[in-house]
Amino acid sequence: MAQQFYCSPQLSVIIPMYNAGRSFDACMQALLAQTLTSLEIIIVNDGSTDGSGQKAHAYAAQYPHVSVIDQENGGVSRARNAGLAVARGQYVTFPDADDTMQPHMYQTLIDMALTDELDVAQCNAERWFPVNSISKPLIPKERLSSTPVLSGPEWLNKALLTNRYLHVVWAGIYRLSLIRELKLDFDPGLHHQDIP
């Protein structure tokens, strides 16, 4: 199915990439299969030396909604900040170059965000254990339930009390105008930079 390109996409997908290897193709195929067509994919090649950068440029040459930023290796925070600087979407998300997602994931999150005018919408994820060839949800289903629309403090309190706080940026979408208004970015050199 041909992707439709929008001048102002609903979603900017920013992928920090450093030596992603074979997993990068699976990530890109999952992104190209998304039912949401109003998106741009920004790959930030953070000084890869394994041929990932060339693969990224091949995708950009083939798909008009895919672009690549090449930079010297500076870490995931600098890579995500570089993508944020050029993102044009109403919302933004930050999958890693070895992540995959269901085809309807971003359409579902965008629909939720637009329907309720949300600043953030988040979903669950699965962890793959190759030794046993099994996957398990990040938040066990017995602890998982949707919430009504919550303010930031209400959500954080509920999330912390129920152990449902996913401190990973790749599990959600975020309103880009709010990120820019509050001048939010990722701290270079900070371990577990997703948490703040």
The pLDDT-based confidence of 1 (bands split at 50, 70, 90) is very low
pLDDT at 156: 74
pLDDT band at 196 (very low <50, low <70, confident <90, very high): low
Q: Are strands 66-71 and 39-46 parallel, antiparallel or unpaired?
A: parallel
Distance separating alpha carbons of residues 109 and 152, to the nearest angstrom: 17
In which residue ranges of the chain is CATH 3.90.550.10 found?
Answer: 1-118+169-188
CA nearest neighbour of 56 among 28, 84, 22, 37: 28
1-118+169-188 in CATH: which number? Answer: 3.90.550.10
Pick left, alpha or beta for residue 112 (phi over 0 → left; psi -120 to 50 → alpha; otherwise beta): alpha
Q: How large is the average pLDDT for residues 129-155?
A: 68
- What pTM was computed for the model? 0.85
- Quote the CA–CA distance of 60 and 192 in Å, as a whole number: 29
H-only helix segments in 3-136: 23-32, 52-62, 76-86, 105-115
- State the pLDDT confidence band at 125, using cuts at 50, 70 and 90: low
Task: Give one word for 8, left, alpha or beta, with left for phi > 0 and alpha for psi -120 to 50.
Answer: beta
Please tell me the predicted confidence (pLDDT) of residue 65: 97
What does each C-alpha distance from 86 to 13, 14, 44, 80 come to in angstroms?
A: 11, 10, 11, 10
Across the chain, mean pLDDT equals: 86
